[in-house]
Structure 1
Amino acid sequence: MAKPYASELSRLEETFQWASATDIEQLKSAVKTAALSSLVAVGSGGSLTAAHALASLHQSNTGKVGLVQTPLEAVDSRLEAFVSHWLLSAGGSNVDINAAALALIERECRQVAVMCGRAGSPITEICDRHPFADLLLFPPPAGKDGFLATNSLLAFTTLLARAYAAVFDPLAPWDEVVSTIAPLTQTSGSRVHAWRDRAAALWTRPTTIVLFGPSTKVGAIDLESKFTEAALGVAQLADYRNFAHGRHHWLAKRGNDTAVLAFITDDDKAIANRTLDLIPEDIPVARLEIEGRGPAALLGSLLAALHITGWAGAARGIDPGQPGVPDFGRKLYHLSLPGKARVTAADVRAKRINAAIERKTGETIRRLTERDALPHWQKAHSAFVDQLEAITFRGVILDYDGTIVDTRDRFQPAGEEIATELARIVDSNAVLSIATGRGVSVRTDLRKILPESCWAHVVVGYYNGAMIGALSDDTAPDGTDEVCPELKDLAEALAVSEELSGSAKQTNRRYQITLEPRRFMAENRLWDIVHQVILRTGCKEAIVTRSSHSVDIVASGVSKTNVIDHVRESVTGGQILTIGDRGRWPGNDYDLLNAPMGLSVDEVSVDPVTCWNLAEPGQRGVAVTRMYLAALEPADGGLRFRKGAFR
Structure 2
Amino acid sequence: MVGSGGSYSVASFAAQMHELMEGEAAKAVTPLEIISGPTTNAGIACFSASGRNRDIGVAFKVAAQREFIPLSALVLRDESPLHSLGRRFQYADVVGFQSDSFKDGFLAVASLVASSVLILRAYLAAAPDSEELPSSLEELMHQTVCGWSAEDIASQANDLCLNRTVSLLFTNSLRATSVDLESRFVEAGLGNLHAADLRNFGHGRHFWMHKHKASTSIVCLVGDGMEQLARKSLEALPQEIPRLRIDFRGPKHLQAIAGLVVGLHLSLGAGDASNTDPAKPGVPEFGRRLYRIGPMHPAGSQKELNLNAALARKGVNTLGADTEAWFEHYSNSINFLRDASIQGLVMDYDGTLSDDRDRFKVGLRPKVSEELNRLLEGGLPVGIATGRGPSAGVSLRSSIKRELWGRVLVGYYNGGIISSLRDERDPLLGELDTLDPLLEELRKGAFLSSCEIRANTKQISVKFSRRRDVSRALSEISEALRISGYDKRVVISSHSVDVLLGGQSKLTLVEELCNYAGIDSSTVLRIGDRADPVGNDFQLLKHPLGLSVDQASGDPKTGWALAPAGIRGVQATVFYLERLAKLEETWAMMITPSDRGLTN
Query: How does the TM-score come out when normalised to structure 1?
Result: 0.87
- Secondary structure, in 3 states, of the residue corresponding to 1:577? strand
Corresponding residue for 2:407?
457
Corresponding residue for 2:313?
359
- What do the CA deviations read for 1:324-344 (whole angstroms, capped 9, x no partner)? 110000000111214327x6x
Task: Give yes or no for the alignment of 1:565 onto 2:511.
Answer: yes
- What do the CA deviations read for 1:520-558 (whole angstroms, capped 9, x no partner)? 862211121111111111211x11011122111112521
The one of 499, 503, 507 equivalent to 2:454 is 507
Distance 1:399 1:520, change over 3 A: closer
**The 10-residue stretch of structure 1 (435-444 or 276-285) with the greater mean CA deviation from structure 2:** 276-285
Q: Distance in 1 between matches of 2:325 and 2:190?
A: 60
Query: How does the TM-score come out when normalised to structure 2?
Result: 0.93
Letter of the structure 1 residue corresponding to residue 358 of structure 2? D
Distance 1:404 1:289, change over 3 A: same
Corresponding residue for 2:598?
none
- Please give the residue correspondences for 1:112-127 in structure 2 after superposition, counting only pairs within 5 Å: 112-127=71-86
- Counting matched residue pairs gives 591
Corresponding residue for 2:491?
545
- Secondary structure, in 3 states, of the residue corresponding to 1:456? helix
Corresponding residue for 1:349?
303
The one of 53, 65, 69 equivalent to 2:13 is 53
Corresponding residue for 1:147?
106
- What do the CA deviations read for 1:3-56 (whole angstroms, capped 9, x no partner)? xxxxxxxxxxxxxxxxxxxxxxxxxxxxxxxxxxxxxx1111111111111111
Distance 1:185 1:449, change over 3 A: farther
Corresponding residue for 2:587?
639
Distance 1:374 1:456, change over 3 A: same
Corresponding residue for 2:430?
480
- Please give the residue correspondences for 1:65-464 in structure 2 after superposition, counting only pairs within 5 Å: 65-81=25-41, 83-168=42-127, 170-175=128-133, 182-183=140-141, 191-265=149-223, 267-340=225-298, 347-364=301-318, 367=319, 373-412=322-361, 413-464=363-414
Letter of the structure 2 residue corresponding to residue 65 of structure 1? A
Corresponding residue for 2:419?
469
Q: Distance in 2 between matches of 1:101 and 1:543?
A: 39
Q: Distance in 2 between matches of 1:143 and 1:157?
A: 12
Letter of the structure 2 residue corresponding to residue 358 of structure 1? A
Q: Distance in 2 between matches of 1:90 and 1:361?
A: 35
- Secondary structure, in 3 states, of the residue corresponding to 2:343? strand
Distance 1:508 1:538, change over 3 A: same
Deviation at 1:626, TM superposition (A): 0.8
**The 10-residue stretch of structure 1 (637-646 or 616-625) with the greater mean CA deviation from structure 2:** 637-646
CA contact (8 A) 1:389 1:642 kept: yes
Distance 1:106 1:483, change over 3 A: farther
- Please give the residue correspondences for 1:553-592 in structure 2 after superposition, counting only pairs within 5 Å: 553-574=499-520, 575-592=523-540
Distance 1:646 1:392, change over 3 A: farther
Distance 1:302 1:437, change over 3 A: same
Q: Which runs of 5+ in 1 are unaligned?
A: 1-40
The one of 517, 524, 530 equivalent to 2:471 is 524
CA contact (8 A) 1:265 1:297 kept: yes
Letter of the structure 1 residue corresponding to residue 428 of structure 2? D
Q: Distance in 2 between matches of 1:519 and 1:361?
A: 22
Deviation at 1:94, TM superposition (A): 1.4
Distance 1:127 1:505, change over 3 A: same
- What do the CA deviations read for 1:403-460 (whole angstroms, capped 9, x no partner)? 1113332332211111000011211222111111111111111111112112122111
Corresponding residue for 1:23?
none
Q: Distance in 1 between matches of 2:148 and 2:529?
A: 57
Distance 1:327 1:498, change over 3 A: closer
Letter of the structure 1 residue corresponding to residue 498 of structure 2? D
Letter of the structure 1 residue corresponding to residue 292 of structure 2? H
Q: Distance in 2 between matches of 1:411 and 1:223?
A: 43
Distance 1:183 1:216, change over 3 A: closer
CA RMSD in angstroms comes to: 2.4
CA contact (8 A) 1:359 1:613 kept: yes
Corresponding residue for 1:13?
none
Letter of the structure 2 residue corresponding to residue 571 of structure 1? A
Q: Distance in 2 between matches of 1:183 and 1:319?
A: 24
**The 10-residue stretch of structure 1 (471-480 or 295-304) with the greater mean CA deviation from structure 2:** 471-480
Deviation at 1:498, TM superposition (A): 4.9
What percent identity do the matched residue pairs reach? 33
Q: Distance in 1 between matches of 2:455 and 2:74?
A: 38
Deviation at 1:392, TM superposition (A): 2.2
Deviation at 1:149, TM superposition (A): 1.6
Corresponding residue for 1:8?
none
- What do the CA deviations read for 1:462-504 (whole angstroms, capped 9, x no partner)? 11111111112123323321369xx943123324545422x11
Distance 1:220 1:498, change over 3 A: closer
Deviation at 1:184, TM superposition (A): 6.1
Deviation at 1:200, TM superposition (A): 4.3
- What do the CA deviations read for 1:308-366 (whole angstroms, capped 9, x no partner)? 1112212321111111110000000111214327x6xxx433432343233224223xx
- Secondary structure, in 3 states, of the residue corresponding to 1:275? helix
Distance 1:266 1:642, change over 3 A: closer
Distance 1:519 1:378, change over 3 A: closer
Corresponding residue for 2:548?
600
Letter of the structure 1 residue corresponding to residue 310 of structure 2? A
Letter of the structure 2 residue corresponding to residue 111 of structure 1? P
Q: Distance in 1 between matches of 2:353 and 2:560?
A: 18
CA contact (8 A) 2:334 2:593 kept: no
CA contact (8 A) 2:140 2:258 kept: no
Q: Distance in 2 between matches of 1:317 and 1:353?
A: 56
- Please give the residue correspondences for 1:37-52 in structure 2 after superposition, counting only pairs within 5 Å: 41-52=1-12
Distance 1:520 1:311, change over 3 A: farther
Distance 1:607 1:506, change over 3 A: same
Distance 1:403 1:272, change over 3 A: same
Deviation at 1:638, TM superposition (A): 3.3
CA contact (8 A) 1:429 1:637 kept: no
Letter of the structure 1 residue corresponding to residue 562 of structure 2? L
CA contact (8 A) 2:144 2:255 kept: no
Distance 1:266 1:375, change over 3 A: closer
